[in-house]
Structure 1
Amino acid sequence: MDMMDMASPSQPTDNSRASADLVLVTRPGAFGLPTACPACLPAFLYLRLAAVSFQEQVTAVEPDSEDLPAVEYGESVGFASENGGVIEFLRKEKVVDLDAGLSDSEKAELETCKAMMESWVADASAYETWMRENDRQCKAVYFAELPWGLAQVLDWKQRVGVMQRLGVTPDNAAARAEEMYRKASNAYAALSVLLSDHKFFFSNRPTSLDALVLGHLLFHLRVPFEVSTLKGEIFKHQNLVNYAESWSSQLLGEGEDDIDAAFQPKAPPPPPMKRTKEKEMPAKKEKSEKEIVFKKRAKYFVITQVVAVLMYAMFAGFGVDDEDEDGVDENDE
């Protein structure tokens, strides 16, 4: 079964036929968010800010995949793991580009702020999300739809991988945490100054930075982590809190009628038509390649995670369960 077979569409927008051309694949929603995935939420908000009609498809396949979010547009597919992610894909496919029209100086400042968000802030966010103390909320974000045993294995594997990527060890955990939180705090202060009392960060209109910052703020304001240093840092900047709350009501209304009129979804441009002189076979081959990508990823996920569950069950039978949990705690300290 491929990723799209496992997906369940959200409530369709007004123009169902047009929106069928553009599909955003995300992880499931939770805590009042359409998707509780910190990587998927900015992509969702980007399309909302662009007022582009799209269908959201939620998938439980590959909850630890770096490919999500993904976007389908006609016969083309863009993954988060590709250079520039789904936002660059949308720009190249001429669906939408929120950053078009910015001055050179604004583009330079925007890229600087995005780099800060994707490094300093993203590291602190990942650390806080995968802390052992926030285990329950983290599982609700990534593994809520999986069987208990599989969720336990994936949670442990992902936590160890995140801490290794962040360079967190039992010996330096306190120092690394302090460093990451300090950098995130500095980033919030810079964003607060840049935003000031404006509605957007640049040119009185939304950009990709707005989607990125809003996604991060709403994730940490909405998810009820047991330990949340970042939420405390965000609350030090009331304009960032007001900014997030205001856009939450305008972009994430319970129904289309609750969404601000300026951001009501509109039909995206149709996918580019194939040239008439082209034969049908190349088009069919392109689509089959897209399906193969999804099927190969899903097949790999199922096989590896079944093996992981068997190993988990085997070792648990020898009483390794408690020792393993202690080992994870040491990695998180």
Structure 2
Amino acid sequence: MASSMELNCWGGDWGLPSVHVECLVVMAYARFSGAPLKVNVIDNSWRVLRGHMPLLISDDSVISQPAKILDFLRKQKYNADYELSLKEGADTLAYIALLEEKLHPAVLHTFWVETDNYYSVTKPWFASRIPFPLSWYLPRKMSGEALNRILLTKGGPPFYSLTEVEGQIYRDAKECLNLLSNRLGTSPFYFGNTPTTLDAFVFGFLAPLYKVQFPKVQLQDHLKQLPNLCRFCDDILSCYFRTNLSGPSPAGQDTVDANLQKLTQLVNKESNLIEKMDDNLRKSPQHPPRKLTSLKLSTPGEGNSSQNRLSP
């Protein structure tokens, strides 16, 4: 097991631990799996020169890209998917591919290409966290890379103009949001009561769209019409990132949160074991069936006490 693991990532705002999609994916997965990452937030730091964020540093290893970072964490025995079946594992890969193909281009466009959003929100926010003189150059470079990525994946026939491409990527994104909403239904997470890799990816893509205050919000408006996806984001933020919502934590709070995550995972394992034992008891005439109280996350409209419920 790695002796230490540090994650360089973009910081947060608007109640988010990070406003960057890929950083959020890794941060959420680390919380779900209990991986003890030391998070180094890029804030006027020259660490931004070390590569694209997020960046995991462990001993002599430097790893970028969420998929590679998550694979590394699994090899260190921090696996949020250990209870998934082969079919659920295949579904995870399929939905992640859907997010990359259908939703990611629209997220990039919303942040980096849409003129009003870029000049009033995205560029000022990132520039304020990048040291001079990189603050003049790097946001423009990131914007150009986002546009090139969109055109590379969506700019072929029959969509030749940027306007046609924009129309198509937002249609695809809304269709993707509808599919994610239908798949989630009323469940707290995509595979029941325990968050997995898929939940980390969905949260990473949706939370910035949901929370960042943009002047042009057509995709955000569509997301807010899907209350189960909004509830999904709110519950993960309240259960796994509470210290980020209430400001800097007091000394020792990070240790308490890490212990709480491990306790939550233990409760989930015990709950699954009890459910299996209960199934066996139901088959015996000497033991009448009993109903277990299931752990669940908050639903819209519940009181403040709902935030005390933990149910990964």
Same-fold status (TM-score > 0.5): yes
Question: 2:32 maps to which residue?
Answer: 49
Question: 1:227 maps to which residue?
Answer: 216
**Aligned partner (choices 87, 96, 100) of residue 78 of structure 2:** 96
Aligned partner of 1:36: which letter? V
| 8 Å contact from structure 2 (residues 7, 56) kept in 1 | yes
Task: Trace 1:43-82 onto structure 2 (pairs within 5 A).
Answer: 43-59=26-42, 60-61=45-46, 63=48, 67-80=52-65
Alignment pair present for 1:126 and 2:108? yes
Question: 1:263 maps to which residue?
Answer: 261
Looking at structure 2, the residues matched to 23 and 156 of structure 1 have their Cα atoms a distance apart, in angstroms, of: 27
Per the TM alignment, residue 119 of structure 1 is displaced from its structure 2 partner at its CA by 2.0
Question: 1:33 maps to which residue?
Answer: 16
Partner SS, residue 245 of structure 1 = helix
Looking at structure 2, the residues matched to 226 and 90 of structure 1 have their Cα atoms a distance apart, in angstroms, of: 37
**TM-aligned CA distance change 1:41 to 1:202, over 3 Å:** same
Question: 1:144 maps to which residue?
Answer: 128
| 8 Å contact from structure 2 (residues 102, 172) kept in 1 | yes
**TM-aligned CA distance change 1:166 to 1:240, over 3 Å:** same
Note the residue ranges of structure 1 that are not aligned, 5 or more in a row.
1-17, 267-333
Question: 1:166 maps to which residue?
Answer: 150
| 8 Å contact from structure 1 (residues 37, 142) kept in 2 | no
Aligned partner of 2:181: which letter? S
CA RMSD of aligned residues (A): 3.0
Per the TM alignment, residue 234 of structure 1 is displaced from its structure 2 partner at its CA by 0.8
- TM-score normalised to structure 1 length: 0.66
Question: 2:88 maps to which residue?
Answer: 106
Per the TM alignment, residue 171 of structure 1 is displaced from its structure 2 partner at its CA by 6.7
**TM-aligned CA distance change 1:260 to 1:58, over 3 Å:** closer
Give a deviation string over 1:211-240, Cα, whole Å, max 9, x none: 111122221122111112221121121110
Which structure ranks higher in relative contact order (CA pairs < 8 Å, sequence separation ≥ 6)?
A: 1
Q: How many residues align?
A: 246
Note the residue ranges of structure 2 that are not aligned, 5 or more in a row.
244-248, 265-312
Partner SS, residue 33 of structure 1 = coil
Aligned partner of 2:111: which letter? T
Per the TM alignment, residue 20 of structure 1 is displaced from its structure 2 partner at its CA by 7.0
Deviates more, 1:27-36 or 1:215-224: 27-36
| 8 Å contact from structure 2 (residues 181, 229) kept in 1 | yes
Alignment pair present for 1:242 and 2:231? yes
Looking at structure 2, the residues matched to 36 and 95 of structure 1 have their Cα atoms a distance apart, in angstroms, of: 27
Aligned partner of 1:57: which letter? N
Question: 1:213 maps to which residue?
Answer: 202
Per the TM alignment, residue 68 of structure 1 is displaced from its structure 2 partner at its CA by 1.7
Partner SS, residue 39 of structure 1 = helix
| 8 Å contact from structure 1 (residues 48, 265) kept in 2 | no
Partner SS, residue 68 of structure 1 = coil
Aligned partner of 2:189: which letter? F
